[in-house]
Structure 1
């Protein structure tokens, strides 16, 4: 009887211990379930803008990996046209009207300065060349008369005023003769006959245009030839006003055409916009002593842009690598298990690239293509985390 009473007294204590054990087990089970649920929600993601992806998943998403570009502020690829250097171009025209009786050069041929290119026959040529002969004869007569008067004056036969008059006449004849010679020179020069004028090359170069044929009658100032010194040519292209402010004379331009590549230097940036295109005309000078660039040819010009400051250390990334997440500009940098969204400060755009002023060192591996898929994945991960 005594033992039965003792057993009944122990029942409340045993029941309390059992309840406590059940509560602990339930709490541990709830915590494990919560952790498992949290882990399931975080699959493929981590805090602080991290995204866990395998190499297979990166390839399947079409994400390309690259490194930022260091040095310069980027380039813009533009269509450009090869033009003759304005300093080395010369139009050869007929100074007088007449009939073309000789043409000594054809397209593509070289010519030296002073060489006769064409001969024009006309009455005007006869007149100005006849005036040269007449003025020469008058000058010879005036000089002879002056010599006679000086001799007579020395012999005290003629008065001094006769010597002065003869000296004045000789001076006037000399001036008239020089004027006649200059008229012939302005018209062209010799030509082999009294009624013919030869047209000389004003510069050395290559014939790039010929506007007349033998026997053709031309008017005064009609174009006969066009000569170009093509050892140096010009590269013409246009820039947006925002980009034109980032190039200066002396800047570098890479010129590319099928099978050829060369470097040019900017020589002129127009201070005014083109009235038709509303773009800024730019001229660069290109060495062409090898003769590989042709006037009128269309090429690609890669224009080096500056961004102020130390351009040699500037960092740029493709525009496709930059995304906006929660109001912040980010670039996705590759990690050992995926990517991490790194906030950056960007500057001016340079063609397909953009300057990164801060946030990157330049040696990172970043997502350059399809980075928007990483932005979408990051957004899903954060939404799941909030749930």
Structure 2
């Protein structure tokens, strides 16, 4: 062996020994990473992927309150909506309001022309004339009685006639008032609005002949609207007048109050009708609009509460997805009684974890995919 070979041999030996020594360390590191990647129930997601999947996280809440969430429809307050009808038949000769216009209580909405209107007003004029005559006779009899010219019975008769004439006039005036009143002519009656509000429907056109009691307008006071809800008897037992109801729609949110909880089940649905009132002075809610109502109720448990949508079934067990640095991890839990749209967690969570509360089904689907890949 020459000098060059003797110099290279120790160097080759050192490299071989070093290579043999590093191989177990690298293999151990790879095996560790492989085992970590296959951690049961773990879904690896970056923050960008979590945001793209629209997965919302939140802390579980402690019991005490819950909510019953259900769809509803905005309706007019029954006490704030009135039908304006014609008390007598006739021809519509004037309409003073169009759809959407405001009106004050007592303002004329329509004028109806008819023979019946002429008859009612003529009766008022005749009754007024009879009263004037009866009052004149009464004054004369009072003077004659004071002069001891006329007997007392004549005075009594004159007083009685004046009283009857006054009653007849008031009756005739009330009949005109019930039919409408005003109108600007002997054969015309004006139909006034019974409440202040907004015209939401008009059923007639100018010149149309209408029958008695025909609907002319609908007027609604929309400063307060309502939502009608249907609850199961069990849920209705936890709701009281005054309970808070959160009303939501795309881009809007407000708070309503329960005003009525029916003591009787609806015969058709076998549910309990509940009415909640919304302050609508800002005019942001429209009648017929679909909304989501969440009624705040007392929880029957003081345990950890999570939204019902946060619970998914993983390998036959109820589970929630807890946020971890690598993404999310499915944690099996024991469930208690539901409370509206929330579920009580008896065990499995400490209450300090951040859990997926929206779109958790996406995580369940991703977990299923990763398990299928591992099996392959």
TM-score interval, smaller chain: 0.7 to 0.9
Residues 1:110 and 1:184: Cα distance change in structure 2 (over 3 Å): same
Is 1:137 the equivalent of 2:126?
no
Is 1:161 the equivalent of 2:153?
yes
Shift of 1:339: 6.4
> Would you say how many aligned residue pairs link Structure 1 and Structure 2?
333
- For 1:321, the equivalent position in structure 2 comes to 311
What secondary structure sits across from 1:80 in the alignment?
Answer: strand
> Which of 1 and 2 has greater Rg?
1
Answer yes or no: is the 8 Å Cα contact 1:316–1:356 preserved in 2: yes
- For 1:12, the equivalent position in structure 2 comes to none
Structure 1, residues 26-68: CA drift from partner, whole Å, max 9, x if none?
Answer: xxxxxxxxxxxxxx9xx77xxxxx96858579x99x9x79444
Is 1:355 the equivalent of 2:344?
yes
- The structure 2 residue matched to 1:306, chosen from 277, 297, 301, is 297
Residues 1:117 and 1:343: Cα distance change in structure 2 (over 3 Å): closer
Answer yes or no: is the 8 Å Cα contact 2:335–2:343 preserved in 1: no
- For 1:199, the equivalent position in structure 2 comes to 191
Alignment of 1:203-242 (within 5 A): 203-242=195-234
Answer yes or no: is the 8 Å Cα contact 1:334–1:340 preserved in 2: no
What secondary structure sits across from 1:347 in the alignment?
Answer: strand
Answer yes or no: is the 8 Å Cα contact 1:51–1:374 preserved in 2: no
- The structure 2 residue matched to 1:266, chosen from 258, 262, 285, is 258
- The structure 2 residue matched to 1:190, chosen from 165, 182, 196, is 182
- For 2:70, the equivalent position in structure 1 comes to 78
Structure 1, residues 240-290: CA drift from partner, whole Å, max 9, x if none?
Answer: 444333333222222222332222222223333434444433321111111
Answer yes or no: is the 8 Å Cα contact 1:135–1:176 preserved in 2: yes
Shift of 1:83: 1.1
Answer yes or no: is the 8 Å Cα contact 2:226–2:276 preserved in 1: yes
Distance 2:56 2:172 in 1: 79
Answer yes or no: is the 8 Å Cα contact 2:121–2:186 preserved in 1: yes
Distance 2:120 2:319 in 1: 80
Answer yes or no: is the 8 Å Cα contact 1:124–1:195 preserved in 2: yes
How much is the aligned-residue C-alpha RMSD, in angstroms? 4.0
- The structure 1 residue matched to 2:143, chosen from 136, 151, 159, is 151
Is 1:257 the equivalent of 2:246?
no
Residues 1:185 and 1:288: Cα distance change in structure 2 (over 3 Å): same
Answer yes or no: is the 8 Å Cα contact 1:73–1:316 preserved in 2: no
Distance 2:352 2:267 in 1: 44
Answer yes or no: is the 8 Å Cα contact 1:84–1:234 preserved in 2: yes
Give structure 2 stretches of 5+ with no counterpart.
1-31, 371-376
Return the TM-score normalized by structure 1. 0.72
